[in-house]
Every structure is written in C-alpha cells, then in structure tokens.
Amino acid sequence: MREEYGNLDKVEMSIWECCELLNDVVDESDPDLDEPQIEHLLQTAEAIRKDYPDEDWLHLTGLIHDLGKVLLHPSFGGLPQWAVVGDTYPVGCAFDKSIVHHKYFEENPDYHNPAYNTKYGVYSEGCGLNNVMMSWGHDDYMYLVAKENKTTLPSAALFIIRYHSFYALHRSGSYKQLMNGEDVENLKWLEIFNKYDLYSKSKVRIDVEKVKPYYLSLIEKLYVLLVYVAGLHHQAEPAVAADALRFNLHPPKWQLLEIDYWILVASGIHLVAP
C-alpha cells in the first residue's frame, strides 16, 4: 500500500481543491465531530491562528495536516477506514502497551518475532524517527506527498503532519528512545499543535469564504500549491518566460531557469516576484 500510494500518481489537484474534496469524507474514528473534515481543518487552523498569529507556517499546517484522509475518497481508491485513520505506531520494534487495542497485537506474527519484539527491534537508540517505519495511514501519506514534492514548510511542520496520530509518543511518552535531537525539538511543536487538533472541534461553523483568501495566500507563500502530481505534460517555455519576466529577466537569461523551474513546479513551488 505504501509502495502503491508512494508513487503519487492518483490525482493532480491544488491544496484547496483537496480541502474541498474532504467535504465528502467523514472519519469514523473521530468521536468528536460529525461534520465533514474540511470543518475540522479550518477549525484547527483558525484556533492556532488566533493564539499564534505570527506563526503562519503553523496555520497552514493546521489546514493541511489531515489532507491524507482523501485516501478514503473514491477518486483516491476509496481505502477502508482502518487503512487510513486511527492511531499510528512504529513497526519493526515492540508494540508499546500504550497503543490503543494493544491486546490484538498478540495475533500479529511480529509480536512473537524476536527480531521485532524488543525495545529497539531493528532500530538503535537515538536513530531518529525519520529512520523509523510507521504504520500506514493518512499521516504518512500526506508526509510523503509533502516530502516528495519538496515543500519548503519547516521540519516541525512535516513532523506534525507525520506524527499527529502517533499518540503513543505525544500522549504517553513511549518510543522516545528512538528520537534524535531534531525530533526532541519538533515534538515541542507537535505538543502545541495537539491541543488544537484534539480540542478545537466544535459545532461552530467556519465561514469558509471569509477565511479562504488568507489560506490561499499562505498556500502560495509557503509553496505547497500543487501536491498531488500525476505528471506534468505542459510546454515549459511560455510558463518559464511568464515568471521570468516578473523578475525583469529576458532571454537568454530566463532560459537558464527552465530546468530548475520545472523541478519547482513539480514540487508545487511557484516563483513569486520580489
């Protein structure tokens, strides 16, 4: 499943289009909210924005952290709930007892495999969570989307996206033996974010059209406009020229931008004139 969806060849759409697609998705594992997921995204982002007005990267992280739930949608394959939502945890080492429904791991062959059922398993102390394989779900999918599209969001944002359902870590303090120094710093932001992810949900509706311009500006500013890239088949030269002219560059100088430009566009990055 990770290999299939890691190809990022299902759908091409913008971040906001993806948010709107979540109108058709309900997370059955979420006991706090019956509204479509876009409501949760905006509630989380707006609550963070209110308390941390200067951390615009965190506002945007709040908006996009659950976009991986589009895996539930038919256009992305309509994966079952168990394969998309719920708690995540490391594989390749012992299943900690703090993981929800831990008793059912006894039916997993890895539970009895001495290569995998120890504190460190296939890992080593302080190896870094980036080197640890997590159970598959919407968190890891959205992390792969952002990473493979070379988003310029800070590492703390990617940490939040990838581990916000890793409750054994940020609620119970388990698996810290695998963390490195960067993880320790990023966990501080995840713990801040977690308060809004869990407790910002309410029946108060967000005025989507009112807040939309702000988040569209963040999407452009923080370079995550195109994330679900199925393949770009456009003519490079006119587009490169258009942005190059915004920088007052002219042939042949702008032609030198073409290769890097298309790497950036494939990553969802749009050149913005100073």
The binding site for Fe cation consists of 40, 65-66, 138, 164, 197
Name every residue whose Cβ is closer than 8 Å to that of residue 18 and which is 6 or more positions away in sequence: 67, 70, 227, 228
Q: Given the structure tokens 């965190």, which residue do they identify?
A: 58
Bridge partners of 41?
A: none
Map residue 72 onto helix, strand or coil.
Answer: helix
Contacts with 32 (C-beta within 8 Å, 6 or more apart), sequence order: 198, 201
User: Residue 248 and residue 259: Cα distance in Å, rounded?
Assistant: 19
What are the C-alpha distances in Å from 131 to residues 25, 65, 84, 92, 140? 31, 21, 21, 11, 13
Binding residue positions: 40, 65-66, 138, 164, 197
Q: How far is CA 10 from the centre of its chain?
A: 16
In the numeric block, the tokens 């915004």 are attached to 246
Q: Give the whole-angstrom CA distance, residue 86 versus residue 95.
A: 15
Distance CA 259, CA 224 (A): 19
Ramachandran sector of residue 204 (left: φ over 0; alpha: ψ -120 to 50; beta: rest)? beta
Which residue type occupies 115? A
Which of these, 71, 91, 63, 62, lies nearest to 8 by C-alpha position? 71
